[in-house]
Structure 1
Amino acid sequence: MALPDAFVQRLQQELGHEGLLSDPAETWNYGYDNSRRHAAPELVALPADHDQVAAVVSLCHEFAVPLTARGRGTGTTGASVPINGGLILSTEKMNHVIRIDPANRYMVVEPGVTNQQVQDIAAEHGFFWPPDPTSAAYCSVGGNLAYNSAGPRAIKYGTPRENTFGLRAVTGDGKSIRTGVYTTKGVVGYDLTRLLIGSEGTLAIITEATLKLTPLPESKRTLQVIYRDIDSAARAVSAIMAQPVVPYALEFMDAGAIDMIRDYSEAELPEGAGALLMIEVDGTEHNIQHAVDAIGRAADNDGLLKLTRAETAAEIQALWQTRKALSPALRTIAPKKINEDVVVPVSNIPALINGLSELSARYNVTIVNFGHAGNGNIHVNLLANPDDPDEMQRTHQCLDAVFSLVLDLDGTLSGEHGVGIEKQEFVGREIEPITLELMRRIKRDFDPKGILNPGKMFPTG
């Protein structure tokens, strides 16, 4: 779309020459995310603070210009791709830690601060922020909040929704709001903080976040447990989650993932392994051994092939190398794979994995599964070649069946990657029409002209 001259001129006045990009050679890179989708924006705004964000959104509202917020572009669902053109609002210049309050266990940051920066600064005071997505070294806090991105530690410490006290934001008509509290308890009014987290920039632009910090554990231990089959591993997961010691992380790999690691790394894994669990336990020095023993007992059943406990940092690193070898192996075999992050109740993991195996055979599509077993969040990887039209047709048919399987097992279509563009057409299967319409009405109240990330999340048509 051609943007009005008056809009561009006023935007230039608000942001200055360094705060607005218009050269296609500069704006092009802002049109993609990790979904491999791309759409070029007309302009890219680089606001430096909350007031400039409010000014940009107000102008976009006045001139009805589509506005897509962007962090570091690590999302995998196309949520930050400007499919309607218009303006990209990048938070890269809003990268300051405003304050840290160790006594009250919180940190106030701008959205452009990276997850790793938060962890490093918090660690200096003996704390950490629990959300730890795979892209933590690069992704921004704003992106983490937009997607409610979690990672392995969510099993014990929760997602961004459980670890954010409050927000400052700008709604779609340019109004500034504050949500939440600075305390661990507070029930005055509706919980708009949790509503905005996970909304993918469709309701408001987050400009400031008050993050809840957690004390760093004194000690951590790691176990690698290998099972004969998926049912044995799933029984172990249920047993682990039913006893009092909650693991710090509980990661899962199926037989396909194990075979892939065996072929692409030097990991020593027994033949006939049907599933693998990586378990991390944290706690005080006084009770860590008790915790490890409790987890070990819960993990033991008649399908157990091998249980390895790591005590030293070198041993822990060696065990995690097995898990870390998986992503490079997947990229080698299928650099353009489809990666979904479905969730089912823990007890339904065997039915999910067995069902995925049946779908793999039915559609002749290779499927490799791994993920966060403790909360049933499984990453389903369909290893398809996008340059083969027949294979891609079968893969999309298979993906459709995968989502039907997940919903039949009382699951949800996404645990942490979000909806964006990739899952839009399937959302109506999970959320009933009356609830969807209520969500649309909420969207209209926050964003009367529908300028914020238009064409995302909700089913089209």
Structure 2
Amino acid sequence: MPLPPALLTTLHSTFPADALAIGEAERIAYSYDNSRRHALPDAVVFPTEHAQVEALVRACRAHGVPVIARGRGTNTTGATVPVAGGVVVSFERMNRIVRIDPDNRLAVVEPGVLNADLQKALAPHGFFWPPDPSSAPWCSVGGNLACNSAGPRAVKYGTPRENTLGLRAVAGSGEGFRCGTYTSKGATGYDLTRLLIGSEGTLALITEATLKLTPKPSAVRTLRATYRDVGSAARAVARIMAQPVTPCALEFIDDVALKLAHAHGGDSVPLAGAMLMIEVDGEPATLDSAVGAVAAAARGDGLEELRVAQSADETRALWAARKALSPAQRTISPNKINEDVVVPVSHLPALVDGIKRFAAKHDVLIVTFGHAGNGNLHVNLLPRDDAERKRAHACLAEVFALVIELEGTLSGEHGIGLAKREFMPLAVPASTLELMRNVKAAFDPDGILNPGKLLP
């Protein structure tokens, strides 16, 4: 449905000609994300300042038109697909690093800053921002915040929720507000910063973020452990996380994933029942003992080989398997179903065993890898035709049911979006969902912000 003429007039007056797109070709470019779902928006705008976002939301609210915030479209759950039409707000031009403050260990950035660009800007100051999703070269900080996207380093350093001090945003009412602090401690009212992070643009549009920075460690050591079977590797994860030295990355790769990566990446990728990639960071004087403690925990029944990288080149070679996984999966199934469930670390063996059982039961190829130190596994179902797609969805329902049974949750960093909406009542009690709806109504009284996402 075309936008009301009065709203179009407001958009033309708020945004310069090159910052408002209403042609079909431009709208198609912003109709989909990495979930491969798509729906055509009625317009796309490219704000460069906070005031434009306020004016946009006020105007859209007056006409009952949906507003969908968008980073760079790397989301895999359909969270940025404009299923109800409306106006997509692409933050790609709000990409300024406002300031870097090493003395107070913070940076103030706009939402369109790419994760990798932020890390490059922080490096000369000796700092980094811990969230490091695999899409870091292309994903934006705003998108990271919207889905609480983390990556391997979360096992030691936490997710965006633990690494963001404050936000500036615009609610669904069109009112701008700030929340959070510029300090590392604060106990002043409700924590709206952590509430907005992970809310997938359903409560407010983030226009600025104050990020908590971490000093870069002096040294990093990488280990690779291969195991007889996935159960042995999963039990090793529990042992590693039960001892005092927390690795800065602990990645699990199952046997199916290793075969795919080996076929794609060659002999640098070992063939085994399962593999763990482990990184330990710290000061050179203490690193040997830390690596020794982690290596001791990695040893146990089922270990086949434990290697410690001795150089940067060897480290890159050890990570080859992990980096080869995504392109290897695309060669098998363009319709990959990528879920990122989480269970308590001690329940990882039961989850891994269950996934193997479901794959056999439904005759669906499943590749499992991910951030095992957090209990966060990426369960990738690879259907190749319609029959396999139907079986894959039945299989996925059983995977989710097992995750909940194991006291886990449906998503660690991809979010809910469209893909997992129907499963929310499985994971969240009805009374809690009702509280979430009340929170949504307080921030977005007319329901215009990213409708159709997250809440069932």
- TM-score scaled to structure 2, two decimals? 0.98
Query: How far off is 1:289 after superposition?
Result: 1.1
| Map 1:251-400 → 2, pairs under 5 A | 251-267=251-267, 273-385=272-384, 388-400=385-397
- Let me know the Cα RMSD of the aligned residues: 1.1
| Map 1:402-417 → 2, pairs under 5 A | 402-417=399-414
Deviations 1:388-427 (A, max 9, x none): 3222211111111111111111111110000000000000
Aligned letter for 1:282?
A: D
Whole-Å separation in 2 of the counterparts to 1:321 and 1:438: 45
Aligned residues: 456
1:163 alignment partner in structure 2: 163
Q: 1:389 to 1:15 in 2, by over 3 A?
A: same
Unaligned runs of 5+ in 1: none
Say whether 1:419 aligns with 2:416: yes
Task: Tell me, yes or no, if the aligned pair for 2:21 and 2:44 is still in contact at 8 Å.
Answer: yes
Task: Tell me, yes or no, if the aligned pair for 2:129 and 2:212 is still in contact at 8 Å.
Answer: yes
- Larger mean Cα displacement after TM superposition, 333-342 or 78-87: 333-342
Whole-Å separation in 1 of the counterparts to 2:328 and 2:10: 50
- Larger mean Cα displacement after TM superposition, 359-368 or 191-200: 359-368
* Runs of 4+ residues over 6 Å off in structure 1: none
2:21 alignment partner in structure 1: 21
Aligned letter for 1:9?
A: T
Aligned letter for 1:390?
A: A
Q: 1:270 to 1:138 in 2, by over 3 A?
A: closer
1:71 alignment partner in structure 2: 71
Aligned letter for 1:345?
A: P
Aligned letter for 1:299?
A: A
Aligned letter for 2:227?
A: Y
Query: How far off is 1:264 after superposition?
Result: 2.7
- Larger mean Cα displacement after TM superposition, 105-114 or 349-358: 349-358
Query: How far off is 1:262 after superposition?
Result: 2.8
Aligned letter for 2:436?
A: M
Query: How far off is 1:243 after superposition?
Result: 1.2
Task: Tell me, yes or no, if the aligned pair for 1:407 and 1:430 is still in contact at 8 Å.
Answer: yes
Task: Tell me, yes or no, if the aligned pair for 1:127 and 1:216 is still in contact at 8 Å.
Answer: yes
Say whether 1:244 aligns with 2:241: no
Query: How far off is 1:269 after superposition?
Result: 6.0
Query: How far off is 1:260 after superposition?
Result: 2.0
Query: How far off is 1:332 after superposition?
Result: 1.1
Deviations 1:86-137 (A, max 9, x none): 1101111101011110000000000000001110111110000000001000
Whole-Å separation in 2 of the counterparts to 1:239 and 1:121: 37
Say whether 1:42 aligns with 2:39: no
Aligned letter for 1:445?
A: A
Query: How far off is 1:268 after superposition?
Result: 5.2
Say whether 1:30 aligns with 2:12: no
Task: Tell me, yes or no, if the aligned pair for 1:261 and 1:267 is still in contact at 8 Å.
Answer: no
Aligned letter for 1:236?
A: A
Indicate the SS of the match to 1:458: coil
Whole-Å separation in 1 of the counterparts to 2:139 and 2:262: 30
Query: How far off is 1:326 after superposition?
Result: 1.8
Aligned letter for 2:75?
A: G
Indicate the SS of the match to 1:325: helix
Task: Tell me, yes or no, if the aligned pair for 2:116 and 2:137 is still in contact at 8 Å.
Answer: yes
- Larger mean Cα displacement after TM superposition, 327-336 or 195-204: 327-336
2:205 alignment partner in structure 1: 205
Aligned letter for 1:214?
A: T
Whole-Å separation in 1 of the counterparts to 2:10 and 2:260: 55
Aligned letter for 2:274?
A: A
Task: Tell me, yes or no, if the aligned pair for 1:267 and 1:322 is still in contact at 8 Å.
Answer: no
Q: 1:115 to 1:10 in 2, by over 3 A?
A: same
Query: How far off is 1:322 after superposition?
Result: 2.0
1:108 alignment partner in structure 2: 108
Whole-Å separation in 2 of the counterparts to 1:16 and 1:365: 50
Identity %: 59
Task: Tell me, yes or no, if the aligned pair for 2:231 and 2:353 is still in contact at 8 Å.
Answer: no
Deviations 1:360-394 (A, max 9, x none): 11111111100011011000011102xx3222211
Q: 2:431 aligns with which of 431, 434, 449?
A: 434
Task: Tell me, yes or no, if the aligned pair for 1:37 and 1:81 is still in contact at 8 Å.
Answer: yes
Query: How far off is 1:3 after superposition?
Result: 1.4
Q: 1:269 to 1:202 in 2, by over 3 A?
A: closer
2:232 alignment partner in structure 1: 232
Whole-Å separation in 2 of the counterparts to 1:296 and 1:415: 26
Q: 1:92 to 1:262 in 2, by over 3 A?
A: closer
Query: How far off is 1:25 after superposition?
Result: 1.4
Task: Tell me, yes or no, if the aligned pair for 1:165 and 1:212 is still in contact at 8 Å.
Answer: yes
1:152 alignment partner in structure 2: 152
2:449 alignment partner in structure 1: 452
Task: Tell me, yes or no, if the aligned pair for 2:234 and 2:352 is still in contact at 8 Å.
Answer: no
Whole-Å separation in 1 of the counterparts to 2:342 and 2:301: 26
Unaligned runs of 5+ in 2: none
Query: How far off is 1:2 after superposition?
Result: 2.5
Whole-Å separation in 1 of the counterparts to 2:44 and 2:301: 58
Q: 1:270 to 1:79 in 2, by over 3 A?
A: closer
Aligned letter for 1:14?
A: T
Whole-Å separation in 2 of the counterparts to 1:428 and 1:80: 22
Indicate the SS of the match to 2:441: helix
Query: How far off is 1:258 after superposition?
Result: 1.8
Q: 1:276 to 1:210 in 2, by over 3 A?
A: same
Query: How far off is 1:263 after superposition?
Result: 2.7
Aligned letter for 1:164?
A: T
